[in-house]
């Protein structure tokens, strides 16, 4: 069987590892910046194994972080605050 690739690129990226405690939870994140994401960042929650490509508009979307990272509204509040600072 011949494999059909849509793309197979190697690219330099910048990865930031951040760990902080919020009001309810500890967050261990890997944040990757790449030109591939058109100004957004790839946010990986290393504790829960969940990730999303996120930009400032996504952070402000009601319920988005709660859905993507499987958090309650209260749990996502600290993450939202951090990402707002990061993406500002």
pLDDT exceeds 90 at position 81 = yes
| Domain-wise residue ranges, the chain | 14-87
Give me the torsion for CA of 16, 22, 28, 31, rounded to 10°: -30
Cβ burial, residue 85 (10 Å; 0-12/13-18/19+):
exposed
Instruction: Identify which of 57, 9, 59 has the alpha carbon closest to the alpha carbon of residue 35.
Output: 9
Whole-prediction pTM value? 0.88
Write down the pLDDT at residue 72.
Answer: 94
Kindly tell me the sign of the dihedral angle through the C-alpha atoms of 38, 25, 76, 68. positive
Task: Report angle CA 15, 18, 19 to the nearest 5 degrees.
Answer: 155
pLDDT the model gives residue 26? 95
């Amino acid at each position: 069987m011949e494999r059909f690739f849509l793309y197979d690129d190697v690219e330099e990226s910048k990865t930031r590892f951040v760990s902080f405690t919020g009001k309810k939870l500890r967050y261990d994140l890997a944040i990757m910046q790449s030109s591939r994401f058109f100004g957004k960042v790839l946010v990986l929650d290393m504790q829960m194994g969940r990730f999303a490509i996120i930009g400032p508009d996504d952070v402000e979307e009601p319920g988005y972080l709660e859905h993507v990272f499987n958090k309650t509204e209260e749990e996502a509040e600290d993450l939202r605050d951090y990402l707002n600072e990061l993406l500002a």
